[in-house]
Structure 1
Amino acid sequence: MTRFSFTAQVFVGMATGLLLGFWARTLGEASALAEALRIVGEIFVQLLRALVVPLVFTAIVASIAALRDLGNAARLVAGTLIWFAITALIAVAIGLTLGTVMQPGVRAGVDVAAAVAPTTHGSWLDFLRGLVPANILGLGATTKLVDGAATTSLSFNVLQIIVVAVAIGIAAVRTGDQGSAFLSFNASALAIFRRVLRWVVRLTPIGTAGLLGHAVVEYGWQSLSALGAFAGAVYIGLGLVLLVVYPVLLRANGLSVRRFFAAAWPAIQLGFVSRSSIATLPVTEAAVERIGVPRSYAAFAVPFAATTKMDGCAAIYPAVAALFVAQYYNVPLHASDYLLVVLVSVIGSAATAGLTGALVMLTLTLSTLGLPLEGAGLLLAVDPILDMGRTAVNVAGQALVPTIVAKRQGLIADIADADPQAVPVPASA
């Protein structure tokens, strides 16, 4: 009997979500079906997010303990940062080229009245402040007034969690015998959380149906008409990076394109529908380990990448969007301005880690170039649709870099001709 593969299940979930989403749109956004899709999607993402803090913390501490026995730990970290920069440089170059050739700002049909300065801004000072943990868990609370009632919600800053976990991991290792009990407990906790993750991941087809269906209900595709050239430029850039650049880099490093995407595709799909690299983080890490990347390195590289490696949000999108705003307001850009976009894109994603994704990155780019921040408001109507593709590319890049670095450091075997179905699944994943 042929087994119905997990990837096929996710595809079925996506198709079901699309059909239910279009059906719900005909019934109205207030229909029971639309509400059910929203609730299913939110619950699934909430389950994934609930695992992020304990998984990231225990995984980072465990990776620090494991890396102490690796003679090439420094080279792994340096290689990770170098490949972050290389792939971001390629992505921003593609974005600048498409923005220059397609000139989406000249062809925009959006009304200038839509230009409203966003309330969230990116800054380098936010990055420095974000490195300092507000508390041991990296948690924060926000209180808002909704219909006259105060509502408090908790959030977490993954970058701060990584900083805390690295500090505690190093301290536990340096403590010696007295820290051994803590490291043993941490290893047991990590195994338990991975087992829970495995249960949640099995719900991915259902969660995918809810998330994609809700996206169709809430956003549809009508917003693309006024900003068609801009959206087209962004998605062409995303497609080039995902389907051309990444496969070329994999082949150039002796890796199987087929095997990589067979393992990473569930995470890429989940990133597309959830629009959250953080919520997808546990699935991305499991995918990287299925490819053959050692857990000791994957546990460090993937969480770090999930906060600082964003080829979609921090490279392609701000490059195209910055040119859109300059063209829309008829502001000439010079070679030095293009170099500034490259600089911000290569290192700027780290400056926005733990903050609000692409909007913060865009405002950081606009302010660096001296372009009107109101230009970001022109793009908000189509942003959710673009965010799906951006996040999918983010997640793919977050899996790609650890795979390439591990291969170049000799941590995984030559798998250029390996069967993707033969990729081992970690027993405790």
Structure 2
Amino acid sequence: MNGTFYIIINITIMAVLIYILLYLRRKRVSFTVRVMLALICGIAFGAALQLIYGAGSQIVNSSNTWFDVIGTGYIRLLRMIVIPLIFISIVNAIISQDSKNLGKMAAQIIAILIITTAISAFVGAGVAKAFNLTSEGLVAGEKEQQAGLGLEQRLEDFQSKPIQQQLIEIIPINPFYAMTGQGSSATLSVVFFAAVVALAAIGIRKSKPEAAESFVNLINILHAIVMRMVTMVLRLTPYGVLALMTRFVSNSDFSEIARLIQFVIASYVALAIMFVIHMAILMVFGLNPISYVRKSAPVLMFAFSSRSSAGTLPLTINNQVRNLGVADGHANLAGSLGTSIGQNGCAGIYPAMLAVMIAPTVGINPMAPAFLIKLIIITALASFGIAGVGGGATFAALTVLSAMGLPVGLVGLLIAIEPLIDMGRTLLNVSGSMLAGVLSSKFMGELDTEIYNSRKIEEV
């Protein structure tokens, strides 16, 4: 039989799995259960495809191009609504917020994101040392060498633009270009422009009350429409997770993963420890971590399967408001800023682990207090300094290693296992964003604890 027949079989199996998920929805099985089931089925189906046809086979690749219609299509739908969601939600939140509290809210959210990233760096460094990870003995193949050369070039390009220039670029020359999502600082530029528009609307309340009221009404209408769009797209989450996990597992190079398995395990240990610290922080401030995990599970599972903090943003904001009782302003600002600032996994744990692995090769004791303190400070600052630059963990690692005077080639050596580690990092990043929203809302007395503590989970 030719390959087309097997591809049709694979597509049919995917269609059957989707039908099962649709059937469970009609039977009112909870959203969390359906997302979890989609995750498990995707892993099982992807593993079966690789075992039957082999990694990188034409049949698997051709099947995945069809599965991408669902998985990548879903991520594109989410990204389609990200910019409208950020702009309308930020404007709506600010015009509904006491302007005197706006600066305090933003400062608290940024502080929480930066502080948790500093803690993440300490955790990453400690776990790397506990596992005795080192870059010595890692051999670069052709792919890794090419990746390393590419990263060196990206580092040169990045260093040519000082941090002051990167911060200035957050202010958009053309806000409509920023709204296309194409600029390097698109997300933060949209947040900045939305804040300016909202403050201008607040400023005309006394001089032109009718115009201000009309604008508020327009924003309320647009906000209702955008949130309805979010709900429509979020209902597709189980099917997106199924397709994304199937593609990831079926394409994974398990031989490369096995070669670097110690680093993979150490990374997930560090990520797990930091997630537990998130839960401990909630407990310190009188919030039940079990409620947080139970209500945030679908969001975190999607973040894990999609590897996209920005793509997860609609789910992040929706979950904070509907299930965690976070005030709109805090949820929108924490979610939006969290896609670019203070990412605990990508900008905290990962670069710190690499620094500890490389340090001994250049004669530095990675556990020396001076080195650790410098590493934690640089990592925390870098998580904000590269806010407007795409590339996430890669740019964070390049920036930190360069600032510490360490070679950056190791980033290229780990290219084969990047996707696997990035799944856990993205989950932690999204958790950090939601944690910032919950805590800032709590600090300012705007957290609805009745919603947070309720056993009810609002379905989408």
TM-score with structure 1 length normalisation? 0.88
Alpha-carbon offset, residue 138 of structure 1: 4.4
CA distance in 1 between counterparts of 2:135 and 2:293 reads: 37
- Contact (CA 8 Å) 2:347, 2:396: kept in 1 or not? yes
Counterpart of 1:356 in 2: which secondary structure? coil
Report the equivalent of 2:3.
none
Q: Deviations over 1:339-366 (max 9, x none)?
A: 2221122122222224111000000011
Report the equivalent of 1:30.
58
Alignment of 1:84-233 (within 5 A): 84-105=113-134, 109-111=138-140, 114-115=144-145, 116-117=148-149, 118=151, 119-121=153-155, 122-123=158-159, 124-125=163-164, 127-139=166-178, 157-176=186-205, 177=209, 178-233=211-266
Alpha-carbon offset, residue 264 of structure 1: 1.4
Report the equivalent of 1:145.
none
CA distance in 2 between counterparts of 1:417 and 1:160 reads: 31
Q: Deviations over 1:263-309 (max 9, x none)?
A: 21111111111111000001000111121011132222221222213
Change (3 A) 1:340 1:134: farther
Report the equivalent of 1:252.
284
Alpha-carbon offset, residue 317 of structure 1: 0.7
Task: Give the letter aligned to residue 184 of structure 1.
Answer: N
Higher Cα Rg: structure 1 or 2? Answer: 2
Q: Deviations over 1:302-347 (max 9, x none)?
A: 2122221310001011100122233456555453332222112212
Counterpart of 2:416 in 1: which secondary structure? coil
- Contact (CA 8 Å) 1:21, 1:217: kept in 2 or not? yes
- RMSD (CA atoms): 2.6
Alpha-carbon offset, residue 395 of structure 1: 0.5
Task: Give the letter aligned to residue 197 of structure 1.
Answer: V
Counterpart of 1:255 in 2: which secondary structure? coil
CA distance in 2 between counterparts of 1:286 and 1:417 reads: 13
Task: Give the letter aligned to residue 140 of structure 2.
Answer: D
Report the equivalent of 1:295.
328
Q: From 16, 19, 33, give the equivalent of 2:44.
A: 19
Task: Give the letter aligned to residue 226 of structure 2.
Answer: F
- Contact (CA 8 Å) 1:312, 1:389: kept in 2 or not? yes
CA distance in 1 between counterparts of 2:401 and 2:277 reads: 26
- Contact (CA 8 Å) 1:105, 1:230: kept in 2 or not? no
Change (3 A) 1:395 1:210: same
Deviation larger for 303-312 or 196-205: 303-312
Alpha-carbon offset, residue 419 of structure 1: 3.7
Deviation larger for 22-31 or 327-336: 327-336
- Contact (CA 8 Å) 2:347, 2:382: kept in 1 or not? yes
Task: Give the letter aligned to residue 290 of structure 2.
Answer: R
- Contact (CA 8 Å) 1:313, 1:390: kept in 2 or not? yes
Q: Flag structure 1 segments of 5+ consecutive residues without an equivalent.
A: 143-152
Report the equivalent of 1:150.
none
Report the equivalent of 2:438.
403
Counterpart of 1:411 in 2: which secondary structure? coil
Alpha-carbon offset, residue 227 of structure 1: 1.9
CA distance in 1 between counterparts of 2:387 and 2:172 reads: 13
CA distance in 1 between counterparts of 2:73 and 2:66 reads: 11
- Contact (CA 8 Å) 1:56, 1:299: kept in 2 or not? yes
Report the equivalent of 1:261.
293
- Contact (CA 8 Å) 2:114, 2:383: kept in 1 or not? no
Alignment of 1:280-359 (within 5 A): 280-289=312-321, 290-327=323-360, 331-333=364-366, 334-354=368-388, 355-359=390-394
- Contact (CA 8 Å) 1:271, 1:280: kept in 2 or not? yes
Counterpart of 2:139 in 1: which secondary structure? coil
Identity of aligned residues (%): 25
Alpha-carbon offset, residue 45 of structure 1: 0.3
Report the equivalent of 1:55.
85
CA distance in 2 between counterparts of 1:417 and 1:396 reads: 15
- Contact (CA 8 Å) 1:65, 1:169: kept in 2 or not? yes
Task: Give the letter aligned to residue 266 of structure 2.
Answer: A
Task: Give the letter aligned to residue 376 of structure 1.
Answer: V
Alpha-carbon offset, residue 194 of structure 1: 0.7
Change (3 A) 1:86 1:409: same
CA distance in 1 between counterparts of 2:381 and 2:81 reads: 28
TM-score with structure 2 length normalisation? 0.83
Alpha-carbon offset, residue 130 of structure 1: 3.4
- Contact (CA 8 Å) 2:134, 2:357: kept in 1 or not? yes
Alignment of 1:389-428 (within 5 A): 389-414=424-449, 418-421=453-456, 423=457
Q: Deviations over 1:384-403 (max 9, x none)?
A: 11100000000011111111
CA distance in 2 between counterparts of 1:43 and 1:286 reads: 20
Alpha-carbon offset, residue 55 of structure 1: 0.5
Task: Give the letter aligned to residue 268 of structure 1.
Answer: L
Counterpart of 2:174 in 1: which secondary structure? coil
- Contact (CA 8 Å) 2:124, 2:270: kept in 1 or not? yes
Deviation larger for 385-394 or 109-118: 109-118
Q: Deviations over 1:187-224 (max 9, x none)?
A: 21121011011011000000001111111122243322
CA distance in 2 between counterparts of 1:94 and 1:337 reads: 14
Q: Which structure carries more helix by proportion?
A: 2
CA distance in 2 between counterparts of 1:5 and 1:370 reads: 51
CA distance in 2 between counterparts of 1:225 and 1:109 reads: 13
